[in-house]
């Protein structure tokens, strides 16, 4: 099969498997956690009713009541009237949880209640986290040409010196990412989520796309939101594409740092080799590879500056 088709087929396979893996996780989490959550929710309602029926509310009874309320709340079960209708472990919410696990965002607004849920979380993330990194890496690799190499080539052809071209390109990409993945979503979130300000939106986007995921702001958790499942799926999509763009930005920065001699100065690994791989036909026969590699590397390094080519970042003379 042609290597380009094979490469795209592999990527499509990755993405399909990623979605299936999320669905599988959602199903298992939902099956394990839903009954435990229902039981806890039921217990909390009974507890609340019991508390209301108390003839005399004293400090001790209130304390006992609050301990249980806060413990249940830690697991995402609220005693408030209007929050008891939505479950944290329906299929879409479970998928949202599975997604925050494998992307390592981990908001923690809902956490597994049962020991089997915790054990499954470990196993699920053990496979899911590296697999998600793999899918993200594969996607970013496919985006490097249209979003990095081609624009840098274009800037060079327009007369910019190579180093300046990469710096200008990085700045443009940064502005684009900030506008499309921070400012615009923050505006949307502050409109959709009643209690969020614009700063809250920016804060949520930043904390999420850095995979910090504090969980003080999580979209789609307020009661009575319309089209909640659709909204949650959109947020999951936003998170995935956003993480991809953050990774792309990081890789572009790494390449620019290489070119400006920053990685050499800080004695850190460079990321040039990967581009040679991108440029190269995939070699399944490993025997051939050792002979091919030095030749290709030498060729890339000695090649004259060719704007628009994929190796423009590497072949640029650093002087």
Q: Does 5 bind a second copy (CB under 8 A)?
A: no
Interface map 113-152 toward a second copy (x if CB under 8 A) = --x--xx-xx--xx--x----x--xx--x-----------
Q: Does 105 bind a second copy (CB under 8 A)?
A: yes
Using CA atoms, how far residue 212 sits from 99, 186, 191, 204, 299, in Å, is 14, 17, 23, 10, 42
Least Å distance between CB 11 and a second copy?
9
Q: Which of residues 272-291 bind a second copy (CB under 8 A)?
A: 272-274, 277-278, 282-284, 286-287, 289-290
Distance CA 217, CA 196 (A): 8
How many positions of this chain bind a second copy (CB under 8 A)?
87
Least Å distance between CB 54 and a second copy?
8
Cβ-based nearer residue to a second copy, 123 or 230: 123
Interface map 208-227 toward a second copy (x if CB under 8 A) = --xxxxxxx-----------
Interface map 299-318 toward a second copy (x if CB under 8 A) = --xx--------------xx
Least Å distance between CB 230 and a second copy?
25
Q: Does 50 bind a second copy (CB under 8 A)?
A: no
């Amino acid at each position: 099969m042609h290597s380009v088709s094979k490469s795209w087929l592999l990527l499509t396979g990755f993405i399909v498997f990623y979605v299936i893996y999320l669905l599988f996780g959602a199903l298992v989490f939902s099956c394990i956690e839903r009954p435990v959550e229902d039981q806890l929710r039921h217990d909390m309602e009974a507890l609340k009713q019991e508390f209301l029926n108390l003839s005399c509310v004293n400090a001790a009874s209130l304390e006992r009541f609050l301990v249980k309320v806060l413990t249940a709340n830690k697991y995402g079960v609220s005693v408030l009237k209007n929050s008891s209708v939505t479950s944290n472990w329906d299929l879409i919410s479970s998928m949202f949880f599975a997604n925050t696990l494998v992307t390592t965002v981990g908001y923690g607004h809902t956490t597994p209640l049962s020991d089997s849920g915790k054990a499954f979380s470990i196993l699920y993330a053990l496979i899911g986290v590296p697999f998600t990194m793999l899918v993200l890496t594969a996607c970013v690799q496919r985006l490097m040409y249209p979003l990095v190499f081609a624009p840098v080539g274009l800037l060079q052809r327009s007369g910019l010196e190579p180093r300046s071209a990469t710096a200008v390109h990085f700045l443009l990409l940064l502005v684009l990412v900030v506008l499309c993945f921070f400012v615009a979503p923050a505006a949307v979130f502050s409109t959709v989520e009643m209690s969020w300000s614009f700063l809250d939106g920016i804060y949520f986007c930043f904390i999420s796309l850095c995979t910090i995921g504090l969980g003080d702001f999580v979209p789609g958790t307020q009661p009575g939101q319309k089209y909640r499942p659709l909204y949650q799926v959109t947020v999951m999509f936003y998170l995935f594409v956003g993480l991809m763009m953050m990774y792309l930005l990081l890789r572009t920065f790494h390449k620019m740092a290489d070119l400006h001699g920053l990685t050499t100065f800080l004695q850190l690994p460079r990321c040039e080799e990967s581009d040679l791989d991108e440029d190269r036909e995939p070699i399944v026969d490993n025997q051939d590879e050792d002979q091919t590699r030095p030749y290709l590397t030498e060729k890339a390094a000695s090649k004259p500056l060719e704007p628009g080519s994929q190796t423009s970042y590497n072949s640029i003379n650093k002087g």
